[in-house]
């Protein structure tokens, strides 16, 4: 396949009019390597890498935590249709027995076309702080436990790429030291102070789960997790850019303060994504979604988002984030954060041919995968 005449997003953040050559499902360097001479004319369109969402619970009426293989297939199909070609289905704080069933659905669909979208699994909980549980169920919170994690990882075929941890919980530092060579540990759902957070970052936890949400604010005498993340040059930070979780001014300030190369846009989407207003659930808890905003029954606690990552990327641009920075934060940066940038995240020979065609306003026109 040859994608001709498009403005191709390059690794330096510029667009250049050039052709993209695909042999099988891999990007190659020249037309000489292409046996399938199908041509797609991308004249007047941007050619982007497929997006990488490392944190999403569900979409189109289904939740990964339903432990339903058909539901997972439907979620993956929705994500691909909306330009997310690498995806980490994300669990909730649930009992171990339930988590094992949930993760097993990833193995169940291996070899099927929909499974190509799975880039890994995100284990958000149960190793969190009850004081910052957010939409997670407090009864299911557990102390950090390496063997618990390993059992879950085995259930999904060793595909867990991220595991969230509250560094102020007993045993957190020991957990990070033991498993950081096996998985990226992410700090989140925590009341940890600056020193506690920085200590586990130095031990190997170089990721933050939805920065600002479910953690203390960045205060001038108590900088907390946010200040520690700033001081850890290896730390990557998630931002939910749906327009509800974080004000646009804070999104702009965070990109400027932390550096655009460390920002990871996520959807944190739940089953109401792509659905009409109504009552849904997240990890077994009732959630009401009204005009894109999802909350628990108290009407105050935000319960994930009802927005996909592609729309979050566009929202970031509408907030004033430079277009290239927003694209990087939805492609290159998340791919680097979970260790798959050698496979996806840019339009580079040798990587998977995950390509998106969009107009100048970033309206998605075609997904190639």
Taking only the tens place, the pLDDT of each residue in 66-100 is 999 999 999 999 999 999 999 999 999 999 999 99
Q: Is 232 exposed, middle or buried (0-12, 13-18, 19+ CB in 10 A)?
A: buried
Global pTM value: 0.96
Say what the pLDDT of residue 26 is. Answer: 98
Q: What is the 3-state secondary structure (H, E, C) of 323-346?
A: HHHHHHHHCHHHHHHCCCCCCCCC
> Scanning the structure block, which residue is given the tokens 């997003």?
9
Taking only the tens place, the pLDDT of each residue in 248-289 is 999 999 999 999 999 999 999 999 999 999 999 887 788 999
Say what the pLDDT of residue 297 is. Answer: 82
CA–CA–CA angle 108, 96, 307 (5° rounding): 65
Q: For the chain, what is the mean pLDDT?
A: 96
Q: Is 110 exposed, middle or buried (0-12, 13-18, 19+ CB in 10 A)?
A: exposed
The pLDDT of residue 57 is above 80: yes
From the list 129, 268, 311, 325, the catalytic residue is 268
Split at pLDDT 50, 70, 90, the class of 304 is confident
Identify whether 342 is a catalytic site residue: no
Distance CA 346, CA 12 (A): 10
């Amino acid at each position: 396949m040859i994608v001709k005449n498009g403005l191709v997003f390059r690794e330096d953040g510029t667009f250049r009019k050039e052709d993209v050559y695909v042999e099988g499902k891999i990007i190659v360097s020249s037309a000489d390597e292409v046996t399938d001479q199908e041509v797609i004319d991308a004249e007047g369109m941007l050619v982007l890498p497929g997006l990488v969402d490392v944190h999403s619970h569900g979409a189109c009426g289904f939740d990964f935590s339903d432990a339903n293989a058909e539901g997972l297939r439907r979620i993956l199909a929705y994500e691909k249709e909306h330009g997310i070609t690498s995806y980490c289905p994300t669990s909730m704080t649930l009992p171990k027995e339930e988590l094992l069933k949930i993760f097993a659905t990833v193995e169940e669909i291996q070899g099927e076309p929909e499974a190509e979208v799975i880039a890994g699994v995100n284990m958000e909980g149960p190793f969190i702080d009850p004081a910052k549980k957010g939409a997670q169920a407090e009864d299911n919170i557990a102390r950090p436990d390496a063997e618990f994690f390993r059992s879950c990882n085995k259930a999904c075929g060793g595909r867990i790429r991220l595991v969230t941890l509250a560094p102020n919980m007993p045993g957190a530092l020991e957990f990070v030291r033991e498993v950081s060579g096996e998985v990226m540990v992410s700090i989140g759902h925590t009341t940890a102070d600056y020193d506690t957070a920085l200590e586990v970052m130095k031990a190997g936890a170089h990721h933050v789960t939805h920065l600002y949400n479910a953690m203390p604010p960045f205060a001038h005498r108590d900088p907390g997790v946010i200040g520690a993340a700033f001081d850890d040059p290896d730390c990557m930070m998630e931002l939910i850019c749906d327009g509800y979780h974080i004000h646009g001014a804070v999104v702009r300030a965070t990109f400027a303060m932390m550096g655009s190369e460390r920002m990871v846009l996520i959807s944190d989407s739940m089953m109401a994504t792509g659905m009409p207003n109504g009552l849904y659930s997240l990890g077994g808890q009732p959630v009401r979604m009204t005009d894109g905003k999802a909350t628990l029954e108290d009407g105050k606690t935000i319960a994930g988002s009802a927005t996909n990552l592609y729309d979050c990327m566009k929202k970031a641009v509408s907030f004033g984030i430079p277009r290239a920075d927003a694209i990087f934060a939805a492609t290159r940066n998340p791919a680097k954060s979970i260790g798959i940038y050698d496979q996806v995240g840019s339009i580079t020979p040798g990587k998977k041919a995950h390509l998106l065609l969009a107009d100048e306003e970033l309206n998605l026109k075609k997904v190639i995968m």
